[in-house]
């Protein structure tokens, strides 16, 4: 192999390496998000009465990933590598729902699943989330089946369906606006569940 060919190959390798490094340098740093509840009123509330267990809460498998998921159509999903959940979405969803539920039903003694084995739960809220994403039209959807049951073999509590839609007041790449809508959807679900808890 001549020195000229060898030098040419080295030159090509240097150029390719520079291009790769340049591409990596321009990759945007990820942004990380968690769900949250609205700020609570500044007053002390004493949790009393029989314990209410919140959970288990299940989410669909397509959401079990760090990327925030949106829809390009009814059957095509878009995963954002630049905008990610800072923790498993199931954990973030559960904490946000608990915080909202404590605001919507003040004074209730609510424990998030899994609770300690010694806690005697008088009622249990089970939630199966079937959708939690933004659609192509610019609305955020939270669909869930849930029930408030009394532990025991004789319980015949019906399962309820909540289909919540909140407008995302921002462009497709505005993930802060998406999170505002997602938080509002969780708060609406908490309000609906709190109404049922207080009615029984």
- SS in 3 state form for 115-156? CCCCCCEEEEEEEEEEEEEECCCCEEEEEEEEEEECCCCCCC
CB atoms within 10 A of CB 130: 14
Q: Residue 44: what pLDDT?
A: 57
- Distance CA(90)–CA(104), nearest Å, equals 21
Domain ranges of the chain: 48-199
- Distance CA(141)–CA(164), nearest Å, equals 6
Q: Residue 198: what pLDDT?
A: 82
Q: Residue 10: what pLDDT?
A: 57
- Is-contact 115 138, C-beta < 8 A? no
pLDDT under 50 in the chain at which residues?
5
- pLDDT digit string, tens, across residues 172-200: 889 999 999 999 999 999 999 999 988 76
Q: Which CATH number fits domain 48-199: 3.40.190.10, 3.90.180.10, 1.20.1250.20, 3.40.50.10610?
A: 3.40.50.10610
- pLDDT digit string, tens, across residues 63-74: 999 999 999 999
Sign of CA dihedral 33, 38, 41, 44: negative
Angle separating helix axes 89-104 and 175-199, nearest 10 degrees: 50
pTM beyond 0.75? yes
């Amino acid at each position: 192999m001549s020195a000229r060919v060898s030098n040419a190959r080295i030159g090509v390798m240097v150029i390719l390496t520079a291009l790769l490094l340049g591409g990596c340098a321009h990759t945007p740093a990820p942004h990380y998000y968690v769900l949250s509840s609205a700020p609570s009123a500044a007053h002390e509330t004493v949790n009393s009465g029989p314990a209410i267990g919140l959970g288990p809460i299940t989410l669909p498998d397509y959401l079990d990933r760090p990327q925030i998921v949106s829809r390009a159509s009814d059957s095509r999903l878009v995963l954002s590598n630049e905008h990610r959940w800072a923790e498993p979405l199931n954990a973030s969803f559960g904490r946000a729902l608990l915080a909202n539920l404590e605001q919507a039903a003040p004074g209730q003694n609510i424990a998030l699943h899994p609770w300690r084995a010694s806690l005697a739960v008088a009622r249990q809220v089970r939630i199966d989330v079937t959708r939690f994403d933004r659609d192509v039209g610019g609305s955020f959807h939270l669909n869930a089946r849930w029930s408030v049951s009394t532990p025991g073999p004789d319980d015949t509590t019906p399962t309820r369906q909540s289909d919540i839609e909140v407008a995302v007041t921002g462009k497709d790449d505005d993930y802060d606006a998406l999170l505002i809508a997602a938080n509002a959807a969780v708060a609406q679900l908490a309000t609906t569940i709190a109404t049922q808890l207080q009615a029984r």
